């Protein structure tokens, strides 16, 4: 196993864990991780997103055992993270109440996309 594939395995496990922890992160740092006022449970939309990200997190952790066999899931994570970060950054810049996202989940999503995209093997 190469150093890059070991790093990919670790990155999948780490990012998977963080995705599973979106809910607690929103309690600790609401301006950077939640998208509404009040407690996390106050938004049905937010709880739906938490469920989707927790599910993705579990599957990323599982994908760490066989990254090549889960390449489409990993590339989905890369591209959906870029799209999500771009839309969220655009929306945050237009709403002063959402500026915390520019130091919270926007950079986190960009980090996920850049690290996983760099570590994924490129087909010849």
Question: Taking Cα atoms as reference points, which of 16, 87, 13, 92 lies closest to residue 53?
Answer: 16
Cβ pair 54, 20 in contact under 8 A = yes
Query: Has residue 14 got a pLDDT over 90?
Result: yes
Q: What is the dihedral of CA 100, 49, 116, 84, to 10 degrees?
A: -60
Give the pLDDT confidence score for residue 124 in this predicted structure: 46
Least confident of 8-12, 40-44, 49-53, 57-61: 40-44
Tell me the pLDDT tens digit for each residue of 73-123: 999 999 999 999 999 888 888 877 766 777 788 899 999 999 999 999 987
Residue with tokens 């995209």: 117
Classify burial at 8, counting beta carbons within 10 Å of its beta carbon; exposed 0-12, middle 13-18, buried 19 or more. buried
Query: Are the CB atoms for 63 and 70 separated by under 8 Å?
Result: yes
């Amino acid at each position: 196993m190469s150093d890059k594939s070991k790093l990919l395995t670790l990155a999948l496990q780490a990012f998977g864990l963080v995705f599973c922890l979106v809910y607690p992160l929103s309690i600790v740092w609401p301006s950077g991780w939640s998208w509404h006022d009040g407690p996390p449970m106050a938004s049905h939309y937010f709880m739906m997103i938490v469920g989707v990200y927790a599910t993705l997190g579990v599957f990323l952790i599982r994908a760490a055992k066989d990254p090549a066999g889960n390449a489409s899931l990993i590339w989905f994570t890369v591209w959906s993270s870029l799209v999500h970060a771009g839309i969220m950054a655009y929306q945050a810049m237009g709403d002063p109440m959402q500026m915390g996202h520019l130091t919270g989940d926007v950079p986190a999503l960009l980090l996920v996309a850049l690290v996983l995209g760099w570590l994924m093997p490129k087909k010849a």
